[in-house]
């Protein structure tokens, strides 16, 4: 099976991709979207959003990253895809699922699911513009207001020449509210002849197995579930391989990664957003780890990077049990 790390605007950027792929269990990433409107973007825009392009289109852990484009003009998307292709991406992905109002208001993202013929034109134009050795994939929701055209949209994507399709098993109207309708992915999978990856509401190993059974898909895309539990990919793969009690990642192994995350944030991001990014991740982690709830409360009102440096140093010192150092893998990540 393949586990793909989802693109999530404002959350799963290159910083978190870097850290999560160090944990393991992720086979491929898709970047947050690069918005294409009415102009040919300079190369620096692509490398700013997907700096992995400067590293062979891989994270520091060696996991390939596909760059995602979002737009509604087939010609402009094709021109930008050609420029992006010259930078050597591991693949180019097309966004037909973003539910953001500002994106939909300008004709992009999930709104395109109302017009399968434009979806076909976009995919076909990008596929023609990109060399054959570079995969072109797409991500869609089940529809905009309802899922009545889900199969039609999937057929448009496959017919346009996409190599792979990821389906988020909810409509735009359903947003991120549970449940995800994995069985509708099975209908799409039966209709197209390209690989289909299932996405949506996969928080646990049990969710992953139920999703695979309901959708018929072997491969999964994980988003918020992986941010909440960075060891989820490892645990899912272990369970598929037959492990009786598949283990993920424990809190002591996460603490060095939090410190590394903070170091990358302080090196690469604007000073005003640094504390917020650490709190954002801790806010997700506390759904899975009680220790993260305590950590979040300790720095919830802190924005001074110097104070956070001191707090993290104390957290790392406290992250030793009975004088025993952390496991070697965790220490190496620190």
Q: Which residues have a catalytic role annotated? A: 98
The candidate with the shortest Cα–Cα distance to 220, out of 232, 231, 229, 211, is 211
Q: What's residue 107's pLDDT?
A: 84
Question: How do beta strands 28-35 and 3-5 pair?
Answer: parallel
Residues of the chain with pLDDT under 70: 244-247, 320-334
Q: Which value, to the nearest 10 degrees, does the dihedral of the CA atoms of residues 7, 10, 49, 222 take?
A: -20
Nearest 5°: the CA angle 142, 184, 147 is 35
Q: What's residue 244's pLDDT?
A: 65
Cβ density class 10-40: b for 16+ within 10 Å, e for less: ebbbbbbbbbbbbbebbebbbbbbbbbeeee
Both tokens of 43, joined, read 């190369």
pTM across the whole model: 0.92
Instruction: Kindly tell me the sign of the dihedral angle through the C-alpha atoms of 317, 322, 326, 328.
Output: positive
Q: What's residue 250's pLDDT?
A: 92
Length of the chain measured in residues: 334
Q: What's residue 331's pLDDT?
A: 30
Full set of structural domains in the chain with CATH: 3-240 (3.20.20.70), 251-333 (1.20.225)
């Amino acid at each position: 099976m393949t586990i793909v790390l989802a693109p999530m605007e404002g959350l799963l950027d290159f910083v978190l991709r870097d850290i999560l792929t160090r944990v393991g269990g992720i086979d491929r990433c898709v970047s947050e979207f690069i918005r294409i409107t009415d102009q040919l973007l300079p190369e620096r825009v692509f490398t700013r959003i997907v700096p992995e392009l400067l590293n062979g289109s891989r994270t520091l852990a060696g996991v390939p990253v596909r760059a995602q484009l979002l737009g509604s003009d087939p010609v402009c998307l094709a021109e930008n895809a050609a420029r992006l292709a010259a930078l050597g991406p591991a693949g180019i992905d097309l966004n037909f699922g973003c539910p953001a109002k500002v994106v939909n208001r300008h004709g992009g993202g999930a709104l395109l699911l109302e017009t399968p013929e434009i979806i076909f034109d976009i995919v076909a134009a990008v596929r023609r513009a990109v060399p054959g050795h570079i995969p072109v994939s797409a991500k869609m929701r089940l529809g905009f207001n309802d899922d009545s055209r889900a199969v039609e949209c999937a057929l448009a994507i496959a017919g346009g020449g996409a190599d792979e399709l990821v389906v988020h098993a909810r409509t735009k109207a359903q947003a991120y509210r549970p449940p995800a309708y994995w069985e509708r992915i099975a209908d799409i999978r039966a209709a197209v002849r390209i690989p289909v990856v299932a996405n949506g509401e996969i928080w646990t190993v049990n969710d992953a197995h139920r999703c695979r059974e309901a959708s018929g898909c072997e491969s999964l895309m994980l988003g918020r579930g992986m941010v909440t539990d960075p060891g989820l990919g490892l645990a899912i793969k272990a369970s598929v391989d037959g492990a009786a009690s598949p283990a993920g990642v424990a809190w002591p192994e996460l603490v060095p990664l939090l410190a590394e995350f903070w170091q990358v944030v302080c090196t690469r991001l604007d000073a005003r957003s640094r504390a917020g990014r650490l709190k954002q991740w801790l806010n997700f982690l506390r759904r899975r780890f009680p220790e993260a709830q305590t950590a979040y409360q300790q720095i919830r009102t802190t924005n001074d990077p110097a104070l956070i440096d001191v707090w993290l140093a104390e957290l790392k010192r406290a992250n030793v049990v009975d004088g025993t150092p952390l496991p070697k893998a965790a220490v190496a990540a620190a």
